[in-house]
Chain A
């Protein structure tokens, strides 16, 4: 199953809405969609809205970790919101909460 990614940048904040399943295949799509956001110097906060994410693979948490580091090196912070309980549990088990903000 794939993932749909829509990005809305407003001032210093970029809101990224995800829908579908985040796995090894779909995370490539996410990375591609985030490249312009990471390159945008005006953006300092990236908010990933997981409300539409049904499930995710544990390995994708690693991708999100590295994404967070890349963003940090570009003076941007990454936060995750609205993840469902199963996805939230997996994120915490992968120690993702130690690297980026999860709400």
Chain B
């Protein structure tokens, strides 16, 4: 444009066509050139409108995709939230089970110790039974000797004749008592043998119990270690779920920003459309008022010369 607002034609032979391949006016008067340029402006406006319509369709398609993505992301977040809650519940249960297993293991270990102590006590009891058996054998021996003594006493009483009659009666009573003592002692010894046999059976059972409880303790310890390992893995899984939920929240933010950007682009498109409307009106106004414009230009030029 020159200083008066007039549009000058392109200089040089190489400028026969514009960037869209349209022929450039050459040697035409300003009047025709103004017509031509107004027409070109309207053509360009139409091209921009077509491009804008495509842009609008693309924006709507992109917005639809963004909404689908947003829903998928939100549902994934919900899923992660539920997974996290389930994982935490599982972790709590596993930790509770671990705690119970640990208590059971401690009780089993205590039972093992007590069973071992019981076995030791039974061994001591059996030993005591042996001592009692020795005492009973001693009593039996005393009883036999007492019986022999009473026999000798009766013999001596017989020799003493009438004077030994009372003593013979006492010797007979001693013999009876010694016999009863021997019988009772034999009975006790018999029962003691039975008791020893039964106690040996209990001792054997105690040994089996100790072995079983020891095995249970070892199993519980192994179970405890596995549960602890499982709890650790569940904890790691929960943490990964939390991390994934955080990443999904980031994705949601990005989608929201994307939707905002699409909205803003849509608003810019609306403004562009309005500007094109204004430009169209202006270009059409220029065509309608070209004669007056040219007259005014000529008059201005005359006035300036």
Give me the interface of A with B, judged by CB distance under 8 Å: 24, 57-63, 65-66, 69-70, 72-73, 90, 92-96, 98-99
Contacts and interface: CB of A to CB of B under 8 A. Distances in A.
Contacts of A99: 259, 263
B95 interface: no
Contacts, number: 67
Nearest to A74: B270
Taking chain A's interface residues, is the majority helix, strand, or loop, or is none over half, making it mixed?
helix
15 contacts: A24-B64, A58-B68, A58-B70, A60-B64, A62-B61, A62-B66, A63-B64, A65-B67, A65-B263, A66-B60, A69-B267, A93-B70, A94-B71, A95-B67, A96-B67
B263 A59 contact: no
Interface string B183-224: 000000000000000000000000000000000000000000
Nearest to B69: A58
B65 interface: yes
B259 A65 contact: yes
Contact of A73 (B63, B74, B256, B270): B270
B291 to A, nearest CB: 35
Contacts of B255: 95
B271 to A, nearest CB: 8
B179 interface: no
A61 B67 contact: yes
Contacts of A72: 267
Nearest to B62: A62
A63 B60 CA distance: 6
Interface string B259-280: 1000100110010000000000
Given A65-B259, A93-B74, A95-B256, A59 B67 contact: yes
Given A58-B68, A61-B71, A69-B270, 5 more contacts: A59-B65, A62-B61, A69-B267, A73-B267, A73-B270
Given A93-B75, A95-B256, A62 B68 contact: yes
Given A93-B70, A94-B71, A62 B263 contact: no
Given A58-B70, A94-B71, A65 B267 contact: no
Given A73-B270, A93-B75, A66 B63 contact: yes
Top 4 closest pairs, chain A to chain B, by CB = A62-B64, A93-B74, A62-B63, A58-B71
A90 B60 contact: no
B59 interface: yes
Contacts of A62: 60-68
